[in-house]
């Protein structure tokens, strides 16, 4: 696994945070149209339909997927069933600034989990890069006013997004360790559509269980069907689900989950740009300063 940040690798790792920023904006826009955990189920159901023509053969009884069902059941739980369901759920009770701030701790969790569970040493440059990137994220989230950070108060949504971040951390490390919970055949990993559909197949089982629990515990839950919800679902299925997962998986394989995690810290900046375009919130000077800090953290974390 090379750690060189080539232009193609940078493009791969820039695409997921851009899609995730769009996912956050769209997720806030449809909060009143569909329950959050159900939104996750609908998103991945559409993503599976998109991938079926490309990789439906992986679901055949003779597929190499089924002997590895334990590994893909875990990947489906962490990456498909839990991560975005928890994120959408967090936005119901927590403010966007809290949700994004907690999610931005991903590089730190990647280093900690790597050291504790995957015997990966933490280099001084990675610590320095984490501090630079987090400083940039905090600058964005505080909008240049540090008093806003002091006024933060934790709510249940903050716990949800923390659990989501930890879930994604373990998912990323499992991607980088293809021999855990069974040895993946090279042909399955090489076919990105088949690899993603394999995760979604199990993830839909988890998502269905979680959505069923949501409806059982939420009397009066409903879905406001219409073009706004249909357009939102089409975007979150094709972009943040299929395209982002495709690029993230390839990027993690090239540079490892720790360095890839620093690119995820660009999500708040992309969110600021998309918020200006769709929510009428223009960017400011501190966004540019934060961008330099985050990119500096990415560069500092890479040895080459």
Digit-coded pLDDT (tens) for 54-95: 999 999 999 989 999 999 999 999 999 999 899 899 877 776
Contacts of 231 (CB under 8 A, 6+ apart): none
Digit-coded pLDDT (tens) for 187-240: 787 788 999 999 999 999 999 999 999 999 988 889 999 999 999 999 999 999
pTM: 0.81
Q: Which of 196, 96, 214, 208 is nearest to 155 (CA)?
A: 96
Over 60: is that where the pLDDT of 2 sits? no
Determine the pLDDT at residue 161: 84
- 54-60 long-range CB contacts below 8 Å, 24 or more apart? 54/193, 54/194, 54/197, 55/191, 55/193, 55/194, 55/196, 55/197, 56/197, 57/194, 58/188, 58/191, 58/194, 58/197, 58/198, 59/197, 59/201
Helices (H), the chain: 7-29, 36-55, 69-75, 83-93, 96-103, 106-117, 124-142, 147-150, 156-176, 186-190, 192-217, 227-236, 244-255, 257-264, 267-278, 285-301
Please report how the helices 156-176 and 257-264 are oriented relative to each other, as an axis angle in degrees rounded to 10.
140
Over 90: is that where the pLDDT of 302 sits? no
Task: Look over the chain and give the mean of its residue pLDDT values, rounded to a whole number.
Answer: 84
């Amino acid at each position: 696994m090379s750690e060189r940040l080539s232009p193609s690798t940078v493009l791969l790792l820039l695409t997921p945070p851009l899609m995730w920023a769009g996912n956050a904006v769209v997720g806030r826009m449809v909060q009143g149209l569909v329950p959050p955990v159900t939104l996750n189920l609908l998103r991945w159901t559409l993503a599976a339909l998109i991938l079926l023509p490309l990789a439906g053969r992986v679901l055949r009884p003779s597929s190499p997927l089924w002997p590895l069902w334990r590994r893909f059941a875990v990947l489906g739980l962490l990456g498909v069933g839990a991560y975005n369901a928890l994120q959408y759920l967090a936005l119901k009770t927590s403010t966007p600034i809290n949700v994004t701030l907690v999610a931005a701790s991903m590089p730190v969790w990647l280093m900690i989990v790597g050291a504790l569970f995957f015997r990966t040493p933490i280099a001084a440059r990675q610590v320095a890069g984490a501090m630079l990137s987090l400083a940039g994220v905090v600058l964005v989230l505080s909008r240049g006013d540090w008093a806003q950070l002091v006024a933060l108060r934790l709510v249940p949504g903050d716990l949800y997004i923390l659990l989501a971040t930890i879930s994604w951390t373990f998912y990323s490390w499992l991607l980088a360790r293809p021999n855990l919970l069974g040895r993946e055949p090279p042909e399955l990993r090489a076919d990105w559509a088949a690899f993603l559909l394999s995760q979604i197949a199990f993830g839909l089982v988890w998502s269905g269980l979680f959505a069923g629990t949501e409806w059982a515990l939420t009397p009066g839950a409903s879905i406001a069907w219409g073009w706004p919800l249909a357009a939102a679902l089409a975007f979150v299925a094709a972009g943040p689900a299929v395209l982002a997962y495709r690029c993230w998986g390839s990027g993690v394989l090239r540079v490892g989950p720790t360095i890839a995690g620093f690119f995820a810290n660009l999500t708040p900046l992309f969110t600021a740009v998309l918020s200006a375009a769709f929510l009428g919130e223009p960017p400011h000077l501190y966004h540019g300063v934060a961008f330099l800090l985050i990119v500096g953290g990415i560069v500092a974390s890479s040895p080459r």
